[in-house]
A and B are shown apart, each in its own frame.
Chain A
Amino acid sequence: MSAILHRRPGLRLGLLLTPPMLWLGVAYLGALGALFITSLWGQNSFTGEIERSWTLDNFRDLFQLEVYRTITFRTLGIAALVTIVDAAVAFPIALYMAKVASPRVQRLLVIAVLMPLWASYLVKAFAWRGMLSEGGLVAWLAVPFGLDSPGYGLTATIITLAYLWLPYMIIPIFAGLERLPDSLLEASSDLGARSGHTMRHVVLPLAFPALVAGSIFTFSLSMGDYIAVRIVGGTNQMLGNVVYDNVGAANNLPFAAAVATIPVVVMLFYLAAVRRTGALDNL
């Protein structure tokens, strides 16, 4: 057996690849495919039974009804803003970790950044619910400045999601910046560039793939979220909520499936677009 495998790398590859491919390629991709097919089926409005006849009604509703358009754009907007906030917060700390901190401080900072990832998602959203509540910490901090807590709503959702996904942005940028040779920065400053100039023309372009890699996480995770918005978003809905309500209360799986294809299509375009930047190697 061992000798046969040794002589035939093709067989070895086949044996190694078959189990994961059965799981992911057949079962998982099959499940995604079936979901998409379901989105092209209708539903009997009296019995609630799924009718297995082809129809584009679900997608027509999705595009024509004002409410779903609003929710789609709101979701994309939230995901984009969360990504921007995370990139802005993550870049300086990642740069500090990679290029300024001593090895000891760097090690500690990596731990400090990663630890919140292990603290439960719900716990963090729950913490923001407490902080943003009336009489919570945010209000307590804001009142002396004549401001108020944003309360539960879209701002709260963006803050909470940005908080939740921040480590996913910091780590790829840090890893990308760490790979960046110091000699490039030195060359830039030897050639007379100031720090800001080096930042804009050397560091940022080279760190861009890593930043995009981080954005895959923040964007995708925000787009599919429906729990944070239920905890801190007040009555606002995102695409995830529409899917959730249609699977659960409304029991309209075909429509839920149609809604769920939006994030998938968006993510596929996103992944295809960023493949060229080399971002996928930075994951």
Chain B
Amino acid sequence: MTLSRGMRIVLVIFTVLALVFVYTPLALVVLNSFNTSRAFAWPPTDLTLQWWEAAAASQGARDALWVSLQVAALATLISLVLGTMAGLALQRHRFFGRSSVSLLIILPIALPGIVTGIALNNAFRTIFGWDLGFLTIVVAHATFCIVTVFNNVQARLRRLGGNLEEASMDLGAGTFTTFRLVTFPMLRSALLAGGLLAFGLSFDEIIVTTFTAGAQEQTLPIWIFNNMFRPNQAPVVNVVAAVLVLASAIPIYFAQRLSGSTNEGLTGAR
């Protein structure tokens, strides 16, 4: 390595500072879920498990969690299908307007969420004539989740090239057989990584959801936002928040197990 010793020390210091900056708020959320004070005064005077019991009994939080899980699962499923198709089309074919198509797939996450939100809100209600509800949330989420799968699929296809598929075709396998026996196995871990990202993205989304959810449907983020400013509910919100912070280790664990290559398309995370 050619960086000077001084430069490396500076880099270490900045890295440590950045990590402290990143993790302090998260650690605090977890700590505060045990804080006796309703206003989360710092430093906490006493610790309690009372809020965790209250949160476990909260029907609203449980219902919202269930809605969020269902929405995320369906949106992931749709984006896996559409993202794979788009990835295959763009990586295995050359055609006019190819770069515009890839720009179009990025567009739903490149544009501010609020724009996608009101555009879809308006289209669902006035053009399609649908009532806002569970289905509209799924459609909206799938729209911006496609890109995560697409990015992963495309990166994988680009890295592996088309030789194996050509060999399979030369040996007489048809399009579908080749996909089933060659392309899909190559893509499997990329699909899992992309699907995981899509799931996380959908599970966490609030802005587009606000505009595409009906009055009765509450996803977990919407439930949190609605209850955050209610002093009575704040400790319960804090426990839900702590659970979400702790649960974020799960997808990271799976992502690590799945794909040794950590930096493939991970920026499709938003």
A residues at B contact (CB < 8 Å): 1-3, 5-6, 9, 12-13, 16-17, 19-21, 23-25, 27-32, 34-35, 38, 89-90, 92-93, 95-97, 99-100, 107, 109-124, 126-131, 133, 135-137, 139-140, 163, 166-168, 171-172, 174-175, 178, 182, 185-186, 188-189, 194-196, 198-199, 213-214, 216-217, 220-221, 223-227, 231, 240, 243-244, 247, 253, 256-257, 260, 263-264, 267, 271, 280, 283
Contacts and interface: CB of A to CB of B under 8 A. Distances in A.
B28 interface: yes
Interface in B76-120: 81-83, 85-86, 88-89, 93, 95, 101-108, 110-116, 118-120
Interface string B209-251: 0110000000011001100100000000110010011011101
24 contacts: A5-B176, A16-B89, A19-B85, A25-B104, A29-B104, A34-B119, A35-B115, A35-B122, A93-B15, A93-B19, A95-B11, A96-B8, A111-B262, A112-B23, A117-B269, A118-B249, A119-B26, A119-B244, A135-B42, A171-B267, A194-B4, A240-B207, A263-B111, A263-B112
Looking at chain B's contact residues, the main secondary structure is helix
Interface string B255-270: 1100000110011111
Contacts of A127: 25-26, 28-29, 241
A114 B252 CA distance: 8
B175 interface: yes
Contacts of B228: 122, 126, 129, 231
A240 B3 CA distance: 44
A161 to B, nearest CB: 12
A240 B228 CA distance: 20
Contacts of A112: 19, 22-23
Contacts, number: 309
A92 B111 contact: no
Interface string B1-42: 111101110111011001101111110110010000001111
Contacts of B11: 92-93, 95-96, 100
Given A2-B175, A133-B40, A267-B111, 5 more contacts: A2-B176, A110-B263, A121-B221, A126-B241, A171-B263
| Residue of A97, A100, A129, A213 with most chain B CB atoms under a 10 A cut-off | A100
B190 interface: no
Contacts of B28: 127, 130-131, 137
B174 A100 contact: no
Contacts of A29: 104
A247 B118 CA distance: 8
Contact of A13 (B89, B225, B263): B89
A110 B256 CA distance: 10
A6 B175 contact: yes
B113 A224 contact: yes
A118 B212 CA distance: 22
A227 B123 CA distance: 23
A5 B174 contact: yes
B202 interface: no
B169 interface: yes
Contacts of A257: 118, 122
A24 B248 contact: no
Contact of A122 (B85, B89, B108, B225): B225
Among A28, A121, A137, chain B packs the most CB atoms within 10 A around the CB of A28
